[in-house]
Amino acid sequence: MTRTLRRLLVGTTAAAIALVAVSVASAHSVLIATEPVADVVVDASPSRVLLRFDEPVDTGLGEALQVFDGSAQRVDAGRIERPTPREVVVPIDEELPDGTYTVAWRAISADSDPISGAFVFHVGERGANPAGVVPNVLDDSPPAVDVLFTGGRFFEFAFLLLCAGGVAALVFALRSADERVHRRLYGVLTACGGALAFWSLLGIPLQGAKAAGTGLAEGFTWDTISSVVGTRYGKVELIRAGLAVGLLAVALVLRRATGATRETANAAAAVLAAGLVATPPFAGHASTAGTLSVVADVAHVLAAAMWVGGLGFVVIALWLALEQRWPLATRAVPRFSMMAVVSVGVLLVAGTVNGYLQIRSWRGLWDTDYGLLLLAKIALVIPLLGLGAYNNKYAVPRLRAGVAQPGERRRFLQTAGVELGIMATIIAVTAVLVNANPARHALTEEAAAAAGHGHTPSGGGPVHAEVDFGEFAGMVMVEPGTPGANTITLQLDHSKPNVPDLAEVTFSATLAEPAVGPIVAEATQTVHGTWVAEDVQLTLPGSWDLRIEARVGEFDLFTENIQVQIGGTPE
């Protein structure tokens, strides 16, 4: 369980005394609205439970949405409906008696990470256990699955960097190594390709078990595997495994090939390595953060491969070269050093760009698990940069000139060993980082939780407000509640009798100081009783006056006015 998740649980448990809402979502796609609304008392038994996320989610795995009564018995119809890619619905066919009900959900978020959460609602009155049965129904996957899941990502990254960096080192830094060393290095590349294919394929059942919250054995069932293969993550894992097998085959050819065949095979290996480097951004956080993020991530992984995988192969080559070790070092180490200097520059710039795109605020850096993991990564890179600078200034010139003394050579190899150890630790931190909730989402989620309990967060965030039109009522949500394009949703309260069929819903937003608007947006009905207007440009921070006009039939117009805080709360 992540620290954010624990913090959220502790926070909501405290709030439960007063509010009795339980929210344990650890999400990358954020749950922004539910029907019934979390922790409200509804008068009548609802006919369905609806979840709405801020991004599309996948629900092909496990039990996506379940509703339990106070004794942890299922009360939903067991059929999942998807009115839109951002919405998940489970019908409730039976009439629910008064009491507290727990909704537990699991999905795969747009950035491929398994997410889950739970909340309660009450019918008629709060039940005997108004906190619901969350701990009983929201079991985490077994520790073995968690360890293998994160460990699998570590090995995938490690072997991917070795494969791509190994190809780069073989064609550039180690070009002048003798044939015997080359052949053995191609053997190492073959093994790395095989290991990468193995861990990529294993990633599919592991993702399935983690997403469905089941044991390892269930992950290997055909149903689970075919469901994961249907997701973007599964497809990327298959492509990666295919490229790795291709590289393995080319490396086998390279072991025997000479002359023109070797040149052609080297070019094929470079193309496959480039393909491998491009795979991570398409299954991770970068895939949902825009083109710049994808480009920066490709550059980051490429640079990391040249530096980490390249160093790994140079050290292996020196070890394999035996008595030729130091003559080879005079040629290979300076070339690798050039490769490393360029790579480090690209790595830092691209890493900073991606860090910014996933965090977006200073607070996100120290107030979220994601930010703290990134700080740990940066802290680990600092000694690496120091060691690299030291080697560049002292060891490399003396190795190039062939005047390094035995003690200096020993120190060079020891330093390289320490560098590889730190790099492995950075890869381990990265394996956790890519599964962590990006700071920008964690903060939105925090704000949504606060807004859900009737507060407008001071830093801006989704705004939820109850609206009463007299004959009927509902909720209005303004998301993300920050200056810029916002989505405004009116959700009618179906727990009340006689919910009308609305003919038209219009929102108009006005800011008094400075004077902006009215900005008028016509909403469209996505599911019965839910009206959404997207891309409403509330560009300035401040307290906006939002007028909601709901027309029933030809002539009956119902209106409500609410204040919506966009951005920070005014002093």
Nearer to ligand HEM, 106 or 440 (CB): 440
Could you say whether residue 308 binds ligand HEM (CB under 6 A)? Answer: yes
Sheet holding 473-479, edge to edge: 463-468, 473-479, 484-492, 530-538, 524-527
Could you say whether residue 99 binds ligand HEM (CB under 6 A)? Answer: no
Could you say whether residue 20 binds ligand HEM (CB under 6 A)? Answer: no
Strand 114-123 and strand 463-468: the pairing is: unpaired
Could you say whether residue 148 binds ligand HEM (CB under 6 A)? Answer: no
* Min separation Cβ 394 and ligand HEM, Å: 21
Stretch that binds ligand HEM, among 24-32, 170-178, 194-202, 301-309 (CB under 6 A): 301-309
Hey, CA dihedral for 490, 522, 542, 362, is it positive or negative?
positive
Could you say whether residue 478 binds ligand HEM (CB under 6 A)? Answer: no
Q: Please check whether residue 477 is in contact with residue 32, taking contact to mean a CB–CB distance below 8 angstroms.
A: yes
Could you say whether residue 348 binds ligand HEM (CB under 6 A)? Answer: yes
* Min separation Cβ 423 and ligand HEM, Å: 5
Helices (H), 280-403: 280-283, 291-304, 310-320, 325-359, 362-367, 369-390, 396-400
DSSP state of 81: B
* Min separation Cβ 216 and ligand HEM, Å: 23
Sheet holding 516-522, edge to edge: 516-522, 502-511, 542-552, 556-566
Could you say whether residue 355 binds ligand HEM (CB under 6 A)? Answer: yes
Q: Please check whether residue 53 is in contact with residue 29, taking contact to mean a CB–CB distance below 8 angstroms.
A: yes
Could you say whether residue 110 binds ligand HEM (CB under 6 A)? Answer: no
Q: Quote the CA–CA distance of 161 and 365 in Å, as a whole number.
A: 26
What is the contact mask toward ligand HEM in residues 426 to 445, using x (rule: CB under 6 A)?
xx--x--xx---x-------
Residue from 45, 150, 221, 352 touching ligand HEM (CB under 6 A): that is 352
Nearer to ligand HEM, 328 or 347 (CB): 347
Nearer to ligand HEM, 156 or 493 (CB): 156
Could you say whether residue 163 binds ligand HEM (CB under 6 A)? Answer: no
Tokens of 112: 């491929």
Residue from 130, 166, 203, 284 touching ligand HEM (CB under 6 A): that is 284
Could you say whether residue 286 binds ligand HEM (CB under 6 A)? Answer: yes
Tokens of 19: 């509010």
Residue from 358, 444, 456, 482 touching ligand HEM (CB under 6 A): that is 358
* Min separation Cβ 177 and ligand HEM, Å: 24
* Residue 258 buriedness (CB in 10 A; 0-12 / 13-18 / 19+): exposed
Measured from each CB, the residue nearest to ligand HEM is: 351
Across the strands, what pairs with 178? none
Could you say whether residue 281 binds ligand HEM (CB under 6 A)? Answer: yes
- Nearest of 326, 235, 240, 225 to residue 276 by alpha carbon: 240
- Nearest of 562, 565, 564, 569 to residue 474 by alpha carbon: 562
| Residue numbers at the binding site for ligand HEM (CB under 6 A) | 157, 280-281, 284-286, 297, 300-301, 304, 308, 347-348, 351-352, 354-355, 358, 374, 377-378, 381, 423, 426-427, 430, 433-434, 438
